[in-house]
Amino acid sequence: MKKVFVPQSEDKGKRLDIYLSEKLDLSRSQIKKLIEKDKVLCNGQVLKKSGEEIKESWAIEVFLEEELPIKAFPQNIPLDIVYEDEDFAVVNKPRGMVTHICQASPKDTLVNAAMYHIKNLSDINGELRYGIVHRLDKSTSGLILIAKNNDSHISLANQIANRTAMRYYLGVVEGNLKDDEGEIEEPIARHAVDRKKMAVREGGRYAKTYYRVLERFMDYTLVEFRLHTGRTHQIRVHMKHIQHPIVGDAKYGTKKRFAHGQLLHAHKLIIKHPGTQEEMLFTALLPDYFEKFLNKLRNG
């Protein structure tokens, strides 16, 4: 598959890998691999350097490798179903599980497990996202809504979009927050250089996170977060922005050696039943590794 780009005057002088990562939504390392495979040409000539400076006279051709087709299929993966009725289910996703099927994760996802354990799933978002109303990062554990028919899916998705659904998280952050409670209201967009990351950036999408301190330790703080919006990596990006990253966050944190994985858990969810409109509250206990870390802090 070939893509052609003609740089504009404002692109002059940009690094080739940065320019292409922005255009193709790929990481710079992925762009580098394409260049090494002679898949990037300028005016018919192969480009060899990632750091080549863009010129206005260029016409850049990129030959992308064809992606293999992927299909959804059920897998007998253990699944913690917190609640289920004829309209929807609530699942407590473990850390390390990808939410939906994609090219990078064609199996062992929450969708694969849900297809095996839950009868009927909405298909409004296509077969690779059967039932998935919203998602959690692979490294985040906790509650996710699974719709069992399209009417329920629309109702639940609208509650999230209209911010009537309430989603709460527990997380341990590095350092001590100055205030006992507050909000972070900063726009989030794709990182300017690393396309696999998000960042607080001017011109990004509106994002707001509420927080409340639950417990303070010498170098850490246990915090409850409530999402007002639901941008990609929102809590993680906002906490990095105020210099209190989530403990164990390999993408945005400082990788403390005793943090056994990311300590962020979607622990509470309040919605209205898509059929009866009855308000419902669901909770999920902290995973064992999370509790052990807190106990270690409490014991000094």
- Give alpha helix (H) positions in 37-180: 110-117, 150-161
On average, the pLDDT of the chain sits at 93
Using one digit for the tens of pLDDT, what is the confidence trace for 187-220? 999 888 777 899 999 989 999 999 999 999 999 9
pLDDT beyond 80 at 65: no
Tally of structural domains, the chain: 3
Q: 111 and 123: one domain?
A: yes
Active-site entry in 137, 151, 180, 288: 137
Q: 241 and 256: one domain?
A: yes
Q: 86 and 48: one domain?
A: no
Instruction: For residues 21 and 193, give the distance between their C-alpha atoms in angstroms, rounded to a whole number.
Output: 8
Q: Helix 28-36 to helix 16-24 angle, to the nearest 10 degrees?
A: 110
Q: 21 and 120: one domain?
A: no
- Give the pLDDT mean for 264-287: 98
Is residue 288 part of the annotated active site? The answer reads no
Q: 77 and 125: one domain?
A: yes
CATH of the domain at 15: 3.10.290.10
Q: 178 and 298: one domain?
A: yes
Encode burial over 42-59: b for 16+ CB neighbours within 10 A, e otherwise: beeeebeebebebeeebe
Instruction: For residues 170 and 88, give the distance between their C-alpha atoms in angstroms, rounded to a whole number.
Output: 24
Instruction: For residues 299 and 231, give the distance between their C-alpha atoms in angstroms, rounded to a whole number.
Output: 35
Q: 152 and 226: one domain?
A: no
Confidence bin at 6 (pLDDT 50/70/90)? confident
| Predicted local confidence at residue 255, as pLDDT | 60
Which residue range is the domain that position 11 belongs to? 2-63
Q: 126 and 30: one domain?
A: no
Q: 156 and 233: one domain?
A: no
Using one digit for the tens of pLDDT, what is the confidence trace for 259-273? 568 999 999 999 999
Q: 233 and 130: one domain?
A: no
Q: What is the pTM of this model?
A: 0.80
Using one digit for the tens of pLDDT, what is the confidence trace for 96-139? 999 999 888 999 999 999 999 999 999 998 999 999 999 999 99
Q: 155 and 175: one domain?
A: no
- Give the pLDDT mean for 55-71: 83
Tell me the three state secondary structure of residue 133.
Answer: coil
pLDDT beyond 70 at 53: yes
Q: 239 and 170: one domain?
A: yes
